[in-house]
A and B are shown apart, each in its own frame.
Chain A
Amino acid sequence: MSAREKGRRIAVWGLTGLTLFLALGLCWAILDLWREGQALRQADPAAVIYSPEAVRTRARWLAPLLALWLAALAAALCLGKRKRRQSAAPRPGAPTAPAPEAKGLRRLRLVMLAAALALIVLGVLNGGLRDVLVKAVNLCTECIGLG
């Protein structure tokens, strides 16, 4: 194995470990923020859990880890890609051919396309289109996890 290949392997393994470590660090930071925020909320129901100061403090702790991760990423990218195998070995006896097409598949597709168009027209008439618009132009706080 060449020195370059060895270096590449070390960089890839290093990046793998650091990615996991960074993810764990992020999870820990989120949980720590939450734990601290809960204590604050008990004293004051209007307290902000994810205040910019609290987020900044955790970000400061994670910054060295992120820098290390970026360095490992740069090293792994500089050392190049692993050579791809010519082709993956096929599994003997693996079923690859699809089941024979059912008769009338095209007809079914046409019927369903017609049904889809009819449903869209009905939906526009019964106000479904406006419902989608109303939900989409307003910020769905629940949908994005704001609460």
Chain B
Amino acid sequence: MDKKTNWWARHKPSTRRLVQLYTALLYNAHLRGFAEGELYTGKSKALCVPGLNCYSCPAAVGACPLGALQNAVAASASRPAFYVVGVLLLFGLLLGRVICGWACPMGLLQELLHKLPTRKLKKGRLTRALSWVKYGLLAGLVLAVPLYYAFRRVPLPAFCKYVCPAGTLEGAVSLLLHPANKDKLGMLGPLFTNKLLILVLVLTACVFVYRAFCRFLCPLGALYSLMTRLALVGVKLDRNRCTECGVCRAVCPMDIRRVGDRECIACGSCISKCPEAAISFRAGKIVLMGNETTGSRVQATGDAAKVFSLRGRRQPTGLTEEASRRNSRQSAANSPVGTSIACPPSPSRRRRLSAWLLALAVLAGALLYFNRSPAAQRPAKPTTDTVSVDLGCDPGQTLPDFTIQTLAGEAFTLSEHRGELVVLNLWATWCGPCVKELPIFEAFSAAYPDAFVLAVHGPMITEDVSAWLAKSELSLPFAVDTDGSVTALLGASNVLPHTVVLDRSGTVLYNAPGSVTMELLEQLYASTKE
């Protein structure tokens, strides 16, 4: 029994680990998404979560702040990125890099990988130098490249596209593992290969280097680190107590130069190690962890009674700074370095328990809510005629007739184009691959006059499509599927671009999401000639 208790004492998860697990589950509360292989499409996705969590993960119920920032920068030619910048500023000012240490699912994954019992690379000059790489990625791939392409009217979230391992793992891999997404396998090309290689390298690096991605590559961490000094919550050092012994820096697994600097993720590992009890985890004046008598500002104002702790002890009033320091020094002197005698008093179990119960109630509510959302929120499934099995949107079936108004004011009716090869492309102004693909359809239409190409903008509109097209040099016929009926008829879901090619009799030759090439279109054209 005693052995078991000891084992539990050594292996029980820390409060930080529990908070990390909690936030990871809260960000990804739509667990049904894994079973269905589909994204959550509810309105909560308009809100950014603080940590790095890909919004293309089937379970994600919020937006990734880094992805949202890149897309907002990419759309800044038409709309300034006020919302995302404001949200990031708010997160940074309130929590700073506490988010990295406590509320980032990618950070949790990296820490778990680092727990594998292998040889480890210690921090040093190399890791310190590499920690600057993330600032380069922030400036280059998150801000400069999307901004450059924004003025070329091509949305390009460069970090997401070329680097982000969270997107590859949470989005691509978890979606592709589901049998319902077999049709997306055809989309995979050089980009996926590169990103998969990056994912393998990053995950391997995390086994040997503590938080390798977070320390060297994460632009979100870089962004929050710029606001660390202003952050309300974080690990704070009482410089009146600090003797500059360097223990905090030595025990820190990150590349810090001093407690609470840009590399500090507020994990709190230094709090119990400080022989002077000079470090505490604070939210403004409230001490969340560490020695409650620290904090010269509070004591200097004689307002020590206001110091509360999550651990539930109220400080005796009238304790002078000097007395408190003397008490602390005495206890530190009586205890060996590395023990926590000078640190926190025993916690109030009742207060902690009620905090956890409240948090669990919120999580249970979120899980219930996000996993019983109405079926109407899900993307429309392809409609098939129940009378005739030949009618439908799968290859070999005849696509049901439909009419849609083009932006030129003419009506397009599918049945009127029998005898022509018809190419229907679903696109959107905010979709980078769609915009890059349009010139291919333009060239195909020009090269094969007996083929008819119609580009249909999806139902989700973020800007005036006519105004957008007026600035482009495209002469294709365009239409806007305002009610989503054509999208549903073509069997397309929430994946753009999507292309459907019909032969001269109206039979579906090709129906798949993802970009097409000129060679593919020519091959399909040639097959109808035979």
Q: Which residues on A are within 8 Å of B, measured CB to CB?
A: 11-13, 15-16, 19-20, 23, 26-27, 30-31, 33-34, 44-46, 48-52, 73, 76-77, 81, 86-98, 100, 105, 108-109, 112-113, 115-124, 126-147
- A81 cross-chain contacts in B, Cβ below 8 A: 117
Query: Is B462's CB under 8 angstroms from A140's CB?
Result: no
Residues in A whose Cβ lies below 8 Å from that of B200: 23, 26-27, 30
Known A-B contacts A46-B523, A137-B45, A139-B56; A146 and B117 likewise in contact (beta carbons under 8 Å): no
B residues less than 8 Å from A119 (CB atoms):
82-83, 85-86, 89
Additional A-B contacts beyond A87-B247, A132-B72, A146-B192 (8; CB < 8 A): A81-B117, A88-B251, A115-B89, A116-B87, A123-B83, A131-B430, A142-B191, A144-B54
Question: Chain B, 61-89, contact with A by CB distance < 8 Å: what is the 0/1 string?
Answer: 01110011001100100011111111101
Q: Which residues of B lie under 8 Å from residue A109 when comparing CB positions?
A: 93, 230, 232
Question: Distance (Å) between the CB of A101 and the closest chain B CB?
Answer: 8
| Distance, CA A105 to CA B56, complexed state (A) | 38
For window 495-530 of chain B, which residues contact chain A by CB distance below 8 Å?
495-496, 510, 513-515, 517, 519-520, 523
Residues of A within 8 A of B259 (CB): 96, 98
CB-CB nearest 5 A-B residue pairs: A123-B83, A119-B86, A128-B83, A90-B246, A144-B171
Supply 12 A–B pairs (Cβ within 8 Å), ascending by A: A23-B203, A30-B193, A77-B117, A89-B250, A90-B247, A98-B259, A122-B83, A132-B63, A132-B83, A139-B494, A145-B172, A147-B514
CB neighbours of A12 from chain B (8 A): 117-119
B82 touches A126 (CB 8 A): yes
**A145-B191 in contact (CB<8A):** yes
Q: Is the CB of B56 within 8 A of A140?
A: yes
Residues of A within 8 A of B80 (CB): 126, 128
| Chain A CB within 8 A of B407 CB | no
- The interface residues of chain B lying within 8 Å CB-to-CB of A91 are 246, 249-250
Q: How far is the CA of A77 from the CA of B63 in the complex (A)?
A: 37
In the complex, the answer to whether A131 meets B175 with C-beta atoms within 8 Å is no
**Do B63 and A45 have beta carbons less than 8 Å apart?**
no
Query: In the complex the two chains form, is B117's CB within 8 Å of A76's CB?
Result: yes
Q: How far is A90 from B338 in the complex, measured between Cα atoms in Å?
A: 12
A27 CB to nearest B CB, Å: 6
Asked if B55 lies at the interface with its beta carbon under 8 angstroms from chain A, I say: yes
Q: Separation in Å of the B365 CB from the closest CB of chain A? A: 21
Q: Is the CB of B167 within 8 A of A137?
A: no
Which of A30, A90, A116, A138 meets B496, CB within 8 Å?
A: A138
Interface residues in B222-270 by Cβ distance below 8 A to A read: 229-230, 232, 237, 239, 242, 244-251, 257-261
Assuming the contacts A90-B249, A98-B260, A135-B430, asked whether A48 and B186 have C-beta atoms less than 8 A apart, the reply is yes
